[in-house]
Structure formats: C-alpha cells, structure tokens
Amino acid sequence: MLAKSTLLGCTVVFTVAVPVLASTLRVPQDFPTIQEAVDAAAIDDIVAVAAGTYPGPVLIDGKNHLTLKAADPMTGPVVIDAKEQPYGIVARNLDGLVLEWLTVDAYPSEVNRSGILLDGAGVAGGGPAPLSRVVIRFTNIKSPGNGIDINGGTVHVVSHCNDIQVGGDYAVGWGSNDLIRVKYSHLSSLPGTSPRYAIYAAGTCEPYTDGTVSFHNRIYRNRIEGSFAEAMRFQNVQDHIVGNNVVRLAAPTRDGRDTFGIVFGPGCVQGSLSFDVSVLSNDVAGARYALVLGALDGARVMNNKFGGNGSRSQTPNSPLGYGGAVFIGVPDDFSSSVCGLNIRLNNMLNLLSPRTEPAVWIDQAGCNAANNVMDRTNTTDPGRKLVGP
C-alpha cells in the first residue's frame, strides 16, 4: 500500500521482507506494552504496535535486527509518551535496529533530555555497549531537549524522513561517530525556544569518546527552520558532505542571538581541524553569515545559494555587523583564529541587504587568501565588493 507523504517528497510502500524465522509480536493484542514485546523479541523479530499512546521509555538492549514500528500508520499515530522521562527510546548493545512510523512525544516536559538516545556510551546506565546499523525513519519527535542523540561506540546511523522539533542543544547530534546519514528530514524549533543547533557533529567535543574524528557523514535534502543559533555545526569531521539542504532561520533568535547557517568551526582540542569537506547545492537564508569556514583544510563549496540577513552588530565596527554570505576564518564570536584553507568557491551569493562590506570575508589576520579560490562566484548586490576586506 502506498502511504501519503508529508515530508520533503518522502514516499514509501508498506512492503517488508520478513526472514523466514522472524515472528511478529503485536501490541496490545499479544503484549500490553511495547516494553514487554521488546523484551520478548528474538533476533529478526518485528514488534508491530497498534495506534495509541504507550508509556516510555522503551529500552532496546541486546536485540539484534529488531524492527519496532507502527502496525498500520494510516489508522493513527503510535505515541510513546516521554513527558515524565529523560528519554523516549533508548537503544544499546545491538547490531541492526529499525524504528519507523513512531511518535516520541516529550513536550512539554521538565525532565526530558532526548527523544531517542542511541546509547553506545552507557549514559542511561549499564556501561558502554556499542551499537551499529540503526535506521530511524518516518518518525516524529517533540522534545524540549534533543531529538536524536548519538553517542559512544555508535556507528552507521540513518535518520530518514523524520520530523523533529526540539528546544535544547540539537535535533540530531553526535561526537566521534562514523557513517551518520541525516536525509529528507524536517528539523525545527519548538515554539518559544532557541535551540543551539539543528545538526551538530563534534569529533572532539563528545564527552564520552577519546577525541577522534567523525568520518564519512552525509547530510542532504533536509529542511531546517526556526530559531536555531546555528543550522549546522561541524567540528573535527572528515569526508563530510552537506548537500541540497534548505535552511530558513529566524534572525536574530528569540533570545537575541545572531544566527549562522552552516558552520565548520574549531574543535575542543587546540589545533584540531576538519578535512575533505563538500558543501554542495544548499539554499541558506536568514543567517548573519550563511557559511562559516574555519578550522578546516580542504573544502569544495559549489552551486550553493547563500544569503546574509543584515543582522545586528555585536561588536562596534565588526566586519560581521551587517551580515554577509561567507566568512573564511572564524568570527570573533567563536573565540578562535583558526583558518579555513584550500577552499574552492563556486556559488551565488544572494545578499538580502545592501551593505558595503564584502560578500566573502577572508580573515587576513589569520588566513592566507592565496590558498582559497573564488571560481565563478557571484553576488546579487552590484554595489557590494565580492571578496575582502
């Protein structure tokens, strides 16, 4: 059966290839709660949940190749109520997990930290327990904290066609985890909140890791909107592609902060860098600077549409005061002078306010402009200098 799609053109057909030995455990027909069905599941089993509201949190521990899903999404939502819990779903110590057509509702709440916690570090208890190959799709999350929290020894996670609303640090975030895919999802801020990031990857800032780099991540075809301080922040990543995303930020945020679009910034270890980065065909508007390229070596920035919003100046005579499109270096707000090097730009810079500072600002104090190439980069403002200062 073909499902009606509501997210970014996502389309799905409800057909599932079921292994011969797999069982389907039905909630509430066979088990009254989701947790009891999960506890009884064996390898390759499917937990199919009827429409309704069920208590959280749901702990999935040591259940390899498990699928937890709505039995029939067309009959109504499957809601996991996490308003009185720190987490809605916690997964650990497994290889192979699919979560689909679920709603994790933790709003409003004074205690919720994350809608879904992929707990390779043992944050929720039990000690470190790596997990891999997790797919979360067609799922709604509302949390005053974070949406999907990926930590510790977690690798190969796909967030596909999800609708995530948050009020905390990030909608999707991870540390030195590899093979993360965030695609075709809608990430937004809850009413009256100013979250820090929609997507956050920090190879050396995750407190549960040894400070390594996050490899081979792909962020594409998402829509990000609301009052995030930064749409995306990446630190210490390698082989990292950000493509075909649409970003619309409120500027400034509700608490008065200026906003930034896609940011590659300094990590928590002095001198740390990102390498081999591609920013391709994104459309970013509403940010003080749509793209910040700092603390990285090697970037392709091509076929993007970037717009500065002309937001307020935090520092008198600051070059960032009125908003441009691209900043190469690290703005004064970020308390670092680490450069962006070996950057190739080929983009349309769609500036929304007629100002005199350049569209592309290269921090001469810390960066060598000769290392960066402006190739067929244009601005829609004929009175504005393209590259400066």
Residue 106 belongs to some domain of the structure: yes
Range 178-196 average pLDDT = 95
Q: Apex CA 173: angle with CA 190 and CA 86, to 5°?
A: 65
Q: Apex CA 47: angle with CA 99 and CA 164, to 5°?
A: 25
Model confidence at 16, pLDDT cuts 50, 70, 90, reads: very low
Residue 14 belongs to some domain of the structure: no
Strand partners, 225: 188, 248
Residue 168 belongs to some domain of the structure: yes
Residue 331 belongs to some domain of the structure: yes
Residue 11: predicted pLDDT: 64
Whether 134 has a pLDDT exceeding 50, the answer reads yes
Q: What is the pLDDT of residues 316-375, one digit of tens each?
A: 333 333 456 776 665 554 544 455 566 667 666 655 444 555 667 666 445 555 555 555
Residue 177: predicted pLDDT: 86
Whether 75 has a pLDDT exceeding 50, the answer reads yes
Residue 52 belongs to some domain of the structure: no
CA-wise closest residue to 66 among 115, 116, 29, 22: 22
Residue 286: predicted pLDDT: 81
Strand 340-349 and strand 378-379: the pairing is parallel
Strand partners, 120: 152
Least trusted range by pLDDT, from 79-93, 205-219, 332-346: 332-346
Residue 181 belongs to some domain of the structure: yes
**C-alpha span between 195 and 331 (Å, rounded):** 20
Model confidence at 273, pLDDT cuts 50, 70, 90, reads: confident
**C-alpha span between 294 and 266 (Å, rounded):** 7
The token pair that represents 306 in the structure block = 């970037």
CA-to-CA dists, residue 24 to 51, 58, 151, 264, 289, angstroms: 16, 18, 30, 45, 50
Residue 282 belongs to some domain of the structure: yes
Percent pLDDT > 70 in the chain is: 69
Residue 269: predicted pLDDT: 56
Range 257-270 average pLDDT = 75
Residue 2: predicted pLDDT: 35
133: left (phi over 0), alpha (psi -120 to 50) or beta: left
Residue 102 belongs to some domain of the structure: yes
The amino acid present at 338, given as its one-letter code, is V
The amino acid present at 237, given as its one-letter code, is V
Residue 380: predicted pLDDT: 56
Whether 225 has a pLDDT exceeding 60, the answer reads yes
For 372, what's the count of Cα atoms within 13 Å in the CB-facing half-sphere?
29
Whether 173 has a pLDDT exceeding 50, the answer reads yes
Residue 155: predicted pLDDT: 86
Whether 270 has a pLDDT exceeding 80, the answer reads no
Whether 28 has a pLDDT exceeding 70, the answer reads yes
Please tell me the total count of domains within the chain: 1
User: What is the domain-level CATH number for residue 287?
Assistant: 2.160.20
Residue 276: predicted pLDDT: 85
Whether 161 has a pLDDT exceeding 90, the answer reads yes
Q: Residue 72 in contact with residue 51, Cβ under 8 Å?
A: yes
Residue 357: predicted pLDDT: 54
Ranked by mean pLDDT, which of 4-18, 24-38, 361-375 comes out on top? 24-38
Whether 21 has a pLDDT exceeding 50, the answer reads yes
CA-wise closest residue to 287 among 313, 233, 324, 333: 324
CA-wise closest residue to 159 among 136, 188, 131: 136
Q: Residue 223 in contact with residue 10, Cβ under 8 Å?
A: no
Strand partners, 9: none
Ranked by mean pLDDT, which of 83-87, 232-236, 297-301 comes out on top? 83-87
> Which residue range is the domain that position 307 belongs to?
60-388
Residue 82: predicted pLDDT: 95
